[in-house]
Structure 1
């Protein structure tokens, strides 16, 4: 994957660590998440470097903790310190109030603040300075996600000439939507500083290529292939490709088989015996389509009396950005709707919606995946949606049914064997719930085997390998 002597340098908004204060001592541990799982083996293998914000202010003795982590894990970390004002303006402000809603087709949620945009530029410059100070000329530099789109351009200004890769983990909007962004040309030019730009889906890649072609007169599309497009920008050729991210499916399977998960799954099933369980698990976010999901489940109960008493929605909402008014309003709406539906349909010994506002520990998460016969994953828009893939990997007896939004990036890969729905179509989603509830075992198993087989072939290690191969190929091409 990497040539000898070549180091991988990963840049992301957050370092892959958790810093905790235990009484008067600070502790550092490895963070969880798909990106860490995917990149840690590669970065360890070539003693690479990961650059990012440590997730805390100057109250923690960051540098000694990072050194301690590096010695234990076999790769180095470099910290980009941020003040509270920068976190507020660059991260909570610009990143989460401008590209996040805009790229998820939520124009009404966007806030366009020049002050926040300037902070975004400054923080991207700071990240680039840390990278440039630590990078060797032979390093492969791979920048992650929407918070750091301008790092490549800042690195070029600082004289960095080696191969730069960038991967966007969220969708890329259509040219018509992108035109709303006051800094659209600056953003596109920033992205064109990279040699390889990776997207989740073919649609995202096309949206980017069409946006660059329409909004920047100096860009010329010089080639379109099945897996990538080539753009000429000045004297450089940039490759834009789509590389659907995935999970470590074998790792999920193995963990789902452990005794602890087995026991937790059995306990959950006993507690809610005699019914099919539908799982929803999402961060509290307006892109996830949670109010529409509750209405669709209510409609399914109206359409098919067989569900009443025999089917429950187990909805876990993971707290997120609890200080932001829109998120608080969303939580209040979910509290109200689940209460209303439960008071309307509940019977002795049966409640239609089990709604939990909390995080699940890893064992409980896997137990939920294993126990629930149906997964209802209906975001209004999603870059990929790895929960859909995790659910399938943990469906060890191939008995699960995946109901998936057609607006999740995962629909491109999983649409043949999942039940695809439009989350805005409450009746259509309700009918899919009824279909899944009555689906014969043979059909369930056939669909789930296809989903799991594809997951094993196209896992996260393949994603990393394909991206790095394309980046190195572009360097030498």
Structure 2
């Protein structure tokens, strides 16, 4: 690496590549998900580094050589943090997903506060910090992603390793009455104050954090206004900011206008006999409100019988955490609800609910977005929800309607032109859908044009730029594409 060359180093639980075993052979597939989509273009050919776990706990597997090919194609370096099965169980499935995930999504009754999870979480965070220390230089900017790694700055400092380090939380941050239920609340807050910059999705999340901080550290003082403020705790100073994450608008918009995607979209409409399409797209998770949504469709058809045979609800549920019992139970509940609604309302030639439990190729998903008249995005709680933004970007006709949960982070940006609903209010959602069904084209078009403009302006590159400007007074352009960097690093 050239001396003084500042690199952007992303650290997340998972690398942007997933190891899969097919016919006894290990292969490397590009990872899915918003974070990979967001940051891969930012690191590509800019001397970037990504540090994370490979997804495998097999100690005999030579992960580094498997990833080297992917790394050279991706245009940035990948470094793995090896984890044992026991570590994955305690830190990832345990602390991250049985404590932090439900607690931060206001679903504390689902939490399992096992002390062994906390100990393993600290052990794994220390392991990550050791790799970060070894694979980075004092010139680099370290950008830690999400709730799995809240102790990175704390451990780097405890090792005496000086780095500029920012943290972004992709999920909501809860208010004090919920956060205070965490047995290790003080230590988690303390660890977050060790970062130079802590970023949240919304101003509400930032307010929640500040209230928790003041509750636990009454000496904390904040100064400034706007998206980024400064906080002082004793002789320590750090910054808090709200940076709503987004998508690559052009990627979705251009794909929706491709001929083959247009044909796919037309075939979807044909298959449903050009009825109005209400679309739900989610990872299968209890925070997404899928059962409540299906009950809302049931309420819609009961209350507004004029819509029978004129509308189809299509729910795409992307498989997730299939080995976890709670997720198996959720899948069963959804399938039973779909069966019940279809049993109640179907007649020859029309089945109201079409349920797909599978991952769709990107083009086909965009075709569904493009075909849908209404997107029903109703998580019970969500950090942001990129589906809402993807739908708007892919709505090339410009006359779709976004019905959005007021508890999605995206509502803060999109509330003026989306139809906001309470995801627990089945009758309210039914009424919103009925109204959206009868909206005139001009009204739909005006609202969707405004939503598309909003997503186009505040896109993924704007998100990265706003975080980097707050973190190190630099923007994406300060990490220019350099084809020779690969060779200089050797």
Scaled by the length of structure 1, what TM-score is found? 0.96
| CA RMSD between the two structures | 1.6
- The aligned residue for residue 124 of structure 1 is 125
1:157 paired with 2:158, answer yes
Partner of 1:317: 317
- Distance in 2 (CA, whole Å) between partners of 1:144 and 1:395 is 30
Q: Does 1:265 align with 2:265?
A: yes
Q: How does 1:90-109 map to 2 (within 5 A)?
A: 90-109=91-110
Contact 2:278/2:311 (<8 A) preserved: yes
2:14 is matched with 14
- Please name the residue that 2:236 is paired with: 236
Which has the larger displacement, 21-30 or 8-17?
21-30
How many pairs align?
471
User: Equivalents in 2 of 1:246, 1:324: separation in Å?
Assistant: 29
* Residue in 2 that maps onto 1:335: 335
Aligned residue in 2 for 1:201:
202
Distance 1:388 1:369 in 2: 10
Question: 1:210 — aligned with what?
Answer: 211
Judged with a 3 Å threshold, the aligned counterparts in structure 2 of structure 1 residues 448 and 4 are, in CA distance, closer, same or farther, namely farther
- Tell me if 1:290 matches 2:290: yes
- State whether residues 66 and 76 of structure 1, in contact with CA within 8 Å, keep that contact through their aligned partners in structure 2: no
Question: What secondary structure sits across from 1:182 in the alignment?
Answer: coil
**For the residues of structure 2 that align with 1:89 and 1:226, how far apart are their CA atoms?**
38
Offset at 1:4? Answer: 7.3
Equivalent residue runs for 1:256-405 within 5 Å = 256-405=256-405
What is the CA distance between 1:25 and its match in structure 2? Answer: 4.3
> Quick check: 2:228–2:470 contact (8 Å CA) kept in 1?
no
Q: Secondary structure at the match of 1:77?
A: strand
Corresponding residue number in structure 1 for 2:88: 87
Question: TM-score by structure 2 length?
Answer: 0.93
Contact 2:4–2:139 (Cα < 8 Å) also in 1: no
Segments of structure 1 that go 5 or more residues without pairing to the other structure are none
Q: Secondary structure at the match of 1:98?
A: helix
Quote how far apart the aligned CAs of 1:251 are. 0.8
Deviation of residue 24 (structure 1)?
5.3
Contact 1:26 1:60 in 2 (8 A): no
Task: State whether structure 2 residue 172 is matched by structure 1 residue 171.
Answer: yes
Aligned counterparts of 2:163 and 2:87: Cα–Cα separation in 1: 29
Match of 2:145 in 1: 144
Instruction: Report the Cα offset of residue 62 of structure 1.
Output: 0.8
Is the CA contact 1:209–1:221 (under 8 Å) kept in the aligned structure 2? Answer: no
Q: Which runs of 4+ in 1 moved over 6 A?
A: none
Aligned-partner Cα distance in 2 for 1:239–1:287:
29
Give 1:234 deviation, angstroms: 3.2
Hey, what's the Cα distance between the residues in 2 that align with 1:429 and 1:29?
A: 38
2:36 aligns with 36
Call closer, same or farther: CA 1:358–1:40 in 2, change over 3 Å.
closer
Cα deviations across residues 255-308 of structure 1 (Å, max 9, x unaligned)?
Answer: 222233122211111110131010011111111111111111111112212211
